[in-house]
């Protein structure tokens, strides 16, 4: 199953500036693991030392937050789009 | 709500609103009777102020403490070249009153903080978040939830923007989306990462549009949805946001019932691992500028050589790195210490050494004095 993962601007420095990465995976967790195996330095930015997704990193499957699906065990379908949505704060400056 | 009457002059001014049934006389009177608080008169605050004043919002409050800088003019269209050096509040008030003399502009020259936010928010109908840092974002969110005011949110970075409406009675809040902030230093600010000058114009006008809809009570508010905009691809996307039943401030079992210390909240978190803790020992030049402007009590330690100090300095206390072991007793562990060198390498070693020696409130200035000269003070010589 090919899934496209959309990479947000702040994390593109770890993906050779790619804004999307295609991976083969059956679940959300597998897709993120595959992404991190392609771009090893990304892993620390997405996961804690004990392997949990960081709380300031939100992952969406299409338009739905995976926290309200089956989290990382959510199954993927063909053409699904996974988005990593980090918090950004800019505005006044 | 008791709505004020419109004068003949105002009827002429707002004619294009009045002939649309969705706004009409009723909506325009609601706008005149309403009040909006803008947090920040910068990138997002500029289009917000201009359009809300033009639309006839009766009372607009603005919170800011900055002065207009030459580098603001690329996107902060409230301010003109002649305003460089003036307080942003002064140029904003002048400009907005010029656009619409029927609008009352209230300026609040202050740092929004936990002791003044609730009182200030309670005097306005809608709060608009156009700040540039995480502590203020969480403060604005929490104060909105606690006072029951809608939080019209917008945020920008480089070519990407986000917008939403938080804290409507049945809608999610910012903490439902992001329960915790990222560690300091992880997400670069616009001052570090840059921002397309037009982007705040696009996101700010979306916020202004949501403000007007909330006031006149028409349309579907951008609540429960996060709008994402990519200026390079020219694409809008929308993600679903849900009210988190476990949200600490708007959920079923609330643990936050008053404003907290947001600098601390966005600093060290219990349960952070080695990665997040590393970020804790760093400070960006932009953050340092912000904290110095705020007159925070920071001790600046310069670990370069005396001849480098001669060329340029941040009025720091000079102890060259090689002398640090024998002179460390000159430093106070109770003080918050920012260590810098030219580009950040020696100061990183100094911070490591000081951590071993028991210093906990010590931060490495990322990029050193060179980054300061490049991003904050272009008059400073670089070597």
- 277-306 of B, contacting A, C-beta below 8 A: 286
The pLDDT > 70 percentage for chain B reads 94
Q: Which of A80-84, B148-152, B220-224, B269-273 has the lowest mean pLDDT?
A: B269-273
**Measured between CB atoms, does B137 come within 8 Å of chain A?**
yes
What are residue B106's DSSP bridge partners? B61
Which residues on A lie below 8 Å from B226 (Cβ)?
Answer: 85
Strand B151-157, strand B160-166: pairing: antiparallel
Asked if A93 and B177 come within 8 Å (Cβ–Cβ), the reply is no
**Which residue reads 């915790």 in tokens?**
B180
Query: What is the count of residue pairs from A and B with beta carbons less than 8 Å apart?
Result: 114
pLDDT at A93 over 60: no
Which residues on A lie below 8 Å from B177 (Cβ)?
Answer: 58, 87
For chain A, list residues whose CB is within 8 angstroms of any CB belonging to chain B.
8-10, 44-45, 48-50, 54-56, 58, 60, 63-65, 68, 83, 85-93
pLDDT digits (tens, 9 = 90+) for B116-126: 999 999 999 99
The per-residue DSSP string of B195-230 comes to: B-TTHHHHHHHHHHHHHHHHHHT-S--SBSEEEEEE
Structure confidence at residue B192 (pLDDT)? 59
A63 to chain B nearest CA, in Å? 4
Q: Which pair of tokens denotes residue B160?
A: 């990407």
- Give the H or E element holding residue B18: helix B15-18
The per-residue pLDDT of chain B, averaged, comes to 91
Name the pLDDT band for B297 (thresholds 50, 70, 90).
confident
Of residues B133, B89, B129, B119, the one with CA closest to residue B107: B89
Averaged pLDDT, B260-288: 72
Please tell me the distance from the alpha carbon of residue B94 to that of residue B105, in angstroms, as a whole number. Answer: 9
**Measured between CB atoms, does B162 come within 8 Å of chain A?**
yes
Strand B59-64, strand B35-39: pairing: parallel
Please tell me the distance from the alpha carbon of residue B292 to that of residue B7, in angstroms, as a whole number. Answer: 47
Task: Provide, for chain B, the percentages of residues in helix, strand and coil under a 3-state DSSP scheme, each rounded to the nearest 5.
Answer: 40, 20, 45
CA B288 to chain centre: 15
Kindly report each contact of residues A29-36 with a partner whose C-beta sits within 8 Å and lies 24 or more positions away, as own/partner. A29/A71, A29/A72, A29/A73, A30/A76, A31/A3, A31/A5, A31/A76, A31/A82, A32/A5, A32/A59, A32/A72, A32/A82, A35/A5
Which residues on A lie below 8 Å from B275 (Cβ)?
Answer: 44-45, 48-49
Asked if A49 and B156 come within 8 Å (Cβ–Cβ), the reply is no
Structure confidence at residue B135 (pLDDT)? 87
CB B213, CB B221: distance < 8 Å = yes
Nearest beta carbon to residue A85 from set B39, B64, B239: B239
Asked if B131 and A49 come within 8 Å (Cβ–Cβ), the reply is no
Task: Provide, for chain A, the percentages of residues in helix, strand and coil under a 3-state DSSP scheme, each rounded to the nearest 5.
Answer: 30, 30, 40
Residue B244 is classified by DSSP as: -
Q: Where are the beta strands (DSSP E) in chain A?
A: 2-6, 20-24, 57-61, 64-65, 81-86
pLDDT digits (tens, 9 = 90+) for A10-64: 788 889 889 999 999 999 999 999 999 999 888 888 888 888 888 888 999 999 9
Structure confidence at residue B269 (pLDDT)? 56
What are residue B127's DSSP bridge partners? B37, B151
Structure confidence at residue B337 (pLDDT)? 94
pTM of the full structure: 0.78
ipTM at complex level: 0.89
pLDDT digits (tens, 9 = 90+) for B306-338: 999 999 999 999 999 999 999 999 999 888 999
Which residues on A lie below 8 Å from B187 (Cβ)?
Answer: 10, 86-89
Name the pLDDT band for B158 (thresholds 50, 70, 90).
confident
Q: Which pair of tokens denotes residue B10?
A: 């105002």
Q: Which pair of tokens denotes residue B227?
A: 């709008």
pLDDT at B300 over 60: yes
Structure confidence at residue A63 (pLDDT)? 94
Nearest beta carbon to residue B133 from set A9, A54, A89: A89
Nearest beta carbon to residue B155 from set A45, A64, A91: A91
Of residues B350, B374, B369, B376, the one with CA closest to residue B311: B369
Of residues B51, B64, B61, the one with CA closest to residue B100: B51
pLDDT at B60 over 80: yes
Structure confidence at residue B211 (pLDDT)? 98
Please tell me the distance from the alpha carbon of residue A67 to that of residue A59, in angstroms, as a whole number. Answer: 8
Please tell me the distance from the alpha carbon of residue B318 to that of residue B324, in angstroms, as a whole number. Answer: 10
Q: How many helices (H) and strands (E) does chain B have?
A: 17, 13
The count of other CB atoms within 10 Å of the CB of residue B140 is 29
Nearest beta carbon to residue A92 from set B40, B242, B273: B40
Best B128, B154, B237, B278 residue to mutate vs chain A (most A CBs within 10 Å): B237
Structure confidence at residue B265 (pLDDT)? 82
The count of other CB atoms within 10 Å of the CB of residue B325 is 10
- Which positions of B are annotated as active-site residues? 190, 341
Q: Nearest residue of A to residue B229 by CA position?
A: A8
CB B37, CB B126: distance < 8 Å = yes
A1 to chain B nearest CA, in Å? 23
- Classify the C-alpha dihedral A9-A10-A11-A13 as positive or negative: positive
Of residues B155, B231, B226, the one with CA closest to residue A60: B226
Nearest beta carbon to residue B242 from set A45, A54, A65: A65
**Measured between CB atoms, does B193 come within 8 Å of chain A?**
yes
Count the residues in chain A. 93
pLDDT at B268 over 60: no
Contacts of B83 (CB under 8 A, 6+ apart): B68, B90, B91
Best A46, A55, A92 residue to mutate vs chain B (most B CBs within 10 Å): A92
CB B302, CB B330: distance < 8 Å = no
Which residues on B lie below 8 Å from A60 (Cβ)?
Answer: 239
Structure confidence at residue B186 (pLDDT)? 62
A85 three-state secondary structure? strand
């Amino acid at each position: 199953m090919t899934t496209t993962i959309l990479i947000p601007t702040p994390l593109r420095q770890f993906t050779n500036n790619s804004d999307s990465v295609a991976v083969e995976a059956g679940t959300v967790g597998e897709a993120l693991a595959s992404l991190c195996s392609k771009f090893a330095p990304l892993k620390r930015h997405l996961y804690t030392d004990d392997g949990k997704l960081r709380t300031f990193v939100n992952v969406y499957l299409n338009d739905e937050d995976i926290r309200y699906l089956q989290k990382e065990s959510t199954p993927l379908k063909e053409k699904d789009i996974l988005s990593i949505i980090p918090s950004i704060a800019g505005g006044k400056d | 709500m008791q709505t004020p009457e419109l004068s003949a002059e105002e009827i002429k001014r707002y004619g294009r609103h009045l002939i649309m049934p969705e706004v009409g006389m009723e909506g325009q009177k609601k706008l005149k009777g309403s009040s909006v608080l803008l947090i920040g008169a910068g990138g997002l605050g500029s289009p917000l102020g201009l359009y809300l004043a033009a639309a006839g919002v009766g009372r607009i409050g603005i919170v800011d403490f900055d002065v207009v800088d030459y580098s603001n003019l690329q996107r902060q269209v409230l301010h003109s070249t002649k305003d460089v050096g003036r307080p942003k509040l002064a140029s904003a008030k002048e400009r907005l009153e010029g656009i619409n003399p029927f609008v009352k502009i209230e300026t609040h020259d202050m740092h929004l903080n936990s002791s003044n936010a609730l009182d200030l928010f309670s005097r306005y109908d809608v709060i608009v978040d156009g700040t540039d840092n995480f502590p203020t974002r969480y403060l604005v969110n929490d104060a909105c939830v606690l006072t029951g005011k809608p939080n019209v949110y917008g945020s920008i970075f480089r070519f990407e923007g986000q917008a939403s409406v938080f804290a409507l009675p049945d809608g999610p809040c910012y903490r439902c989306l992001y329960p915790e902030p990222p560690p300091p230093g992880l997400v670069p600010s616009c001052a570090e990462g840059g921002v397309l000058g037009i982007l705040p114009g696009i996101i700010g006008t979306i916020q202004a549009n949501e403000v007007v809809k909330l006031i006149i009570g028409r349309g579907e508010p951008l609540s429960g949805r996060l709008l994402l905009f990519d200026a390079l691809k020219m694409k809008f996307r929308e993600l679903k946001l849900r009210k988190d039943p476990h949200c600490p401030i708007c959920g079923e079992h609330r643990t936050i019932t008053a404003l907290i210390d947001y600098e601390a909240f966005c600093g060290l978190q219990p349960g952070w691992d080695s990665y997040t803790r590393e970020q804790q020992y760093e400070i960006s030049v932009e953050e340092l500028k912000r904290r110095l402007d705020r007159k925070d009590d920071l001790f600046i330690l310069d670990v370069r050589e005396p001849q480098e100090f001669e060329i340029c300095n941040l009025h720091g206390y000079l102890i060259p790195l090689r002398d640090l072991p024998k002179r460390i007793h000159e430093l106070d562990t109770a003080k918050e210490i920012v260590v810098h060198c030219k580009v950040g390498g020696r100061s990183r070693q100094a911070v490591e050494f000081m951590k071993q020696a028991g210093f906990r409130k010590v931060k490495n200035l990322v990029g050193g004095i060179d980054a300061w000269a490049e991003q904050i003070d272009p008059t400073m010589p670089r070597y």
